[in-house]
Amino acid sequence: MKTLHLVTLAVLAGLLILGCSDSADNPVEPGSNAVEQKQAPREVVELVKQYSTGETLPPDVSLTNRSEFPPDPSDTSYDVYAVTFIWGTIHNSALHSTAPTDWTGEISTNAAAFLDPIYTIDFEPGEDTLYPRNAPVGANWQSFTLNDFDGLSFLLYHERGVVYIAPPKLLFDTQPIRLELSLHELEDFFAFYMVDGSNALAVRARLIPRSDCRKGLFAGEWVKDSTDRRQGHFSAVWFESNFQPSGYLSGTFWMNDDGRGGFAGSLSGYVTDEVIATVSGTWFFDDPSMCPACGEGRGRLEGEFTMLDGSGTGSMEGVFGAIGIDMFETDLALTGQWRLNCPEKEVKEITAEGQQL
């Protein structure tokens, strides 16, 4: 449990007015599904920002002992959601409570997912406990609050491409309040629920932008013309990150009159010869050999590709040849890597009005 510090008198006075306005609404019935979102006071917004799970762990949190390991975060067959629940007395205008509130409960999902608790929010030893799990799709805890708050932050790994009969949901189930959220709501979600005059629940969830976009390798040949070693053609097999071949890369290269190299080509399917992407870019020699007529044994290429089905664009870079090889060698090894650009999903900022910009 953790007690929320009081804000200044001026801010508190304004929040008391807001609190009185909220208290005029009917509070959520304990254990009810008929929950109603309320406007979040400013200190609740700041509290949620402080403890929400991100790419790095917030300071001053107690790490849980994770005996089970979730999927690799770079595994793009999963969507990963960061979710934080904070419960108890989480706003300064709440009424003073004389008895503890039992928030013992569980979080679970009916989806093909892995729920990974990252940290508890000020669970007190001997009073609050995150129990060892017997299944990867849920978490259970014991929690009591008395004019303070507890919470839990976790990552939800949801397997892509699964067809459901019933809509996949996340369930927060305690005696004071029971809340169901559709997984699609978790992409960018913030909500504040009043349970009674003293207690409330705040939820923040978002889909974590994937820094690991689709990527892979290519390997083949860079072949110089026998009459002009500064032009020719290239070909390579296009591999996914799991080393499975997914296409053929081919094209031509040349050197302009100003000494700048260029290349262009296409990527076709591995099973069919259908063109699925166009490629283009530049290349240059980087062989440091210093003898006359040498220095053309190795080079580098940098370019871009565009998927013709509209699924996106990407970058590629590679190396051909080797330092100091025979200047008359025309068939050079070509290796490189590619990466599809995946636009990061905008994370909306939550505001003191409880809305999202």
Q: Please tell me whether the overall predicted TM-score, pTM, comes out greater than 0.85 for this model.
A: no
pLDDT tens for each residue of the chain, 357 residues long: 555 443 332 332 333 333 333 333 444 444 444 556 778 888 888 888 888 865 444 444 444 444 455 665 556 678 888 999 999 999 887 888 889 999 999 999 999 888 888 889 989 888 999 988 767 788 999 999 999 999 999 888 888 878 888 889 999 999 999 999 999 899 889 999 999 889 999 999 988 876 557 788 999 999 999 888 889 999 999 998 878 899 999 999 999 988 899 999 999 998 888 999 999 999 998 877 656 556 778 889 999 999 998 878 899 999 998 887 777 788 999 999 998 886 555 555 555 554 443
DSSP assigned state of 160: T
- Residue 192 tokens read as 């504040």
Give CA–CA dist 187/160, Å, rounded: 14
- CA distances for 125 relative to 54, 57, 130, 253, angstroms: 25, 21, 10, 67
The number of C-alpha atoms within 13 Å of 209 and in the hemisphere containing its C-beta is: 9
